[in-house]
């Protein structure tokens, strides 16, 4: 009877033409970008390592951990300076390769495809990350739930720790921009993640005047009109 009252007996299928565009409009992307800009949280920042100020005569390395793509983060980092992705078949090999770098950016990328996906570090990842931090200047960026911080038995050797919360393309890009001072870090930790990181932990960062990247709607422009201009150009 309930189904009858709402008209399901005369069901009409939804017109799927432009359905994806309707559900995933650029305005939603702009809103999501703004939400993440206000959410990304710096929870440790020794010597004000973030934002990264000096780029000249510095070598930067990116080291990937996790089970999901970090391509968007790596590509965005490289819009500000040359950042090399460094890999090693063994920990000793990786440490050896990182010896010549001034700053190492570690990206921990965990899938947020659904709420049941794991967010924890593996023991191997922790061992490698601790050793990298012991021998290098490290910014640890966590693209997972902040509870992942509870796996860290010590944070002594990390210069900075940044929580990106999700591993989406926009989350990775916004976080990379915060590292280089194109955006400010404003977020507060919404939960307690162990004794070192109580709820409301917040470290603000400042702008360095570097170029910000985003969808045109974030600055009041229209993506479709820009595409028309681009096609003419």
9 falls in which pLDDT band (50, 70, 90)? confident
53 falls in which pLDDT band (50, 70, 90)? very high
What's the confidence (pLDDT) of residue 74? 98
By mean pLDDT, which of 63-67, 72-76, 189-193, 219-223 is the weakest?
Answer: 219-223
Q: How far is 117 from 111, CA to CA, in rounded Å?
A: 7
The mean pLDDT value for 82-102 works out to 97
Q: How far is 33 from 31, CA to CA, in rounded Å?
A: 5
* Among candidate residues 94, 102, 186, 172, the one with its CA nearest the CA of residue 137: 102
Q: Is the model's pLDDT at 22 over the cut of 80?
A: no
Q: How far is 141 from 108, CA to CA, in rounded Å?
A: 6
The string of pLDDT tens digits covering residues 127-161 is: 999 999 999 999 999 999 999 999 999 999 999 99
Q: Show the CA angle centred on residue 140, arms to residues 81 and 119, nearest 5°.
A: 125
**Better-predicted residue by pLDDT, 29 or 89:** 89
Say if CB 106 and CB 85 are below 8 A apart: no
What's the confidence (pLDDT) of residue 215? 87
**Better-predicted residue by pLDDT, 208 or 215:** 208
Task: Pull the structure tokens for residue 34.
Answer: 């703004």
Write down all domains in the chain, each with its CATH number in brackets.
28-232 (3.40.50.1700)
The mean pLDDT value for 209-229 works out to 90
What's the confidence (pLDDT) of residue 162? 98
Three-state SS string over the chain comes to: CHHHHCCHHHCCCCCCCCHHHHHCCHHHHHHHHHHHHHHCEEEEEHHHCCCCCCCCCCCEEEEEEECCCCHHHHHHHCCCCCEEECCCCCHHHHHHHHCCCCEEEEEEECCCCCCCCCCCCCHHHHHHHHHHHHHCCEEEEEECCHHHHHHCCCCCCCCEEEECCCCCHHHHHHHHHHHCCCCCCCCCCCCCCCCCCCCCCCECCCCCCCCCCCCHHHHCCCHHHHHHHHHHC
Q: Is the model's pLDDT at 29 over the cut of 90?
A: no
pTM comes to 0.87
Which residues does 220 contact at the CB level (< 8 Å), separation at least 6? none
The mean pLDDT value for 81-101 works out to 97
* Among candidate residues 62, 102, 64, the one with its CA nearest the CA of residue 84: 62
Q: Is the model's pLDDT at 18 over the cut of 80?
A: no
The string of pLDDT tens digits covering residues 155-194 is: 999 999 999 999 999 999 999 999 999 999 999 999 999 8
The mean pLDDT value for 188-217 works out to 94
Q: Is the model's pLDDT at 63 over the cut of 90?
A: yes
Q: How far is 74 from 155, CA to CA, in rounded Å?
A: 23
Task: Pull the structure tokens for residue 74.
Answer: 């790596």
């Amino acid at each position: 009877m309930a189904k009858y009252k709402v008209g399901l007996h005369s069901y009409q299928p939804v017109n799927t033409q432009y359905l994806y565009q309707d559900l995933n409009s650029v305005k939603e992307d702009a809103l999501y970008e703004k939400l993440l800009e206000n959410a990304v949280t710096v929870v440790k920042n020794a010597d004000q390592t973030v934002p990264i100020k000096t780029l000249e005569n510095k070598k930067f390395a990116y080291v990937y951990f996790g089970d999901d793509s970090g391509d968007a983060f790596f590509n965005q980092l490289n819009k500000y300076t040359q950042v090399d992705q460094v890999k090693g078949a063994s920990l000793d090999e990786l440490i050896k390769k990182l010896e010549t770098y001034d700053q190492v950016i570690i990206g921990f990328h965990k899938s947020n495809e659904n709420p049941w996906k794991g967010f924890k570090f593996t023991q191997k990842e922790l061992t490698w990350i601790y050793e990298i931090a012991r021998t290098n200047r490290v910014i640890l960026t966590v693209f997972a739930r902040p509870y992942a911080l509870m796996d860290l038995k010590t944070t002594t050797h990390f210069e900075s720790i940044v929580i990106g919360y999700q591993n989406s393309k926009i989350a990775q890009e916004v976080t990379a921009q915060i590292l280089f001072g194109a955006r400010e870090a404003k977020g507060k930790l919404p939960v307690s993640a162990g004794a070192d990181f109580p709820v409301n932990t917040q470290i603000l960062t400042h702008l360095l005047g570097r170029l910000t990247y985003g969808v045109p709607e974030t600055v009041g422009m229209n993506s479709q009109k820009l595409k028309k201009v681009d096609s003419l150009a």
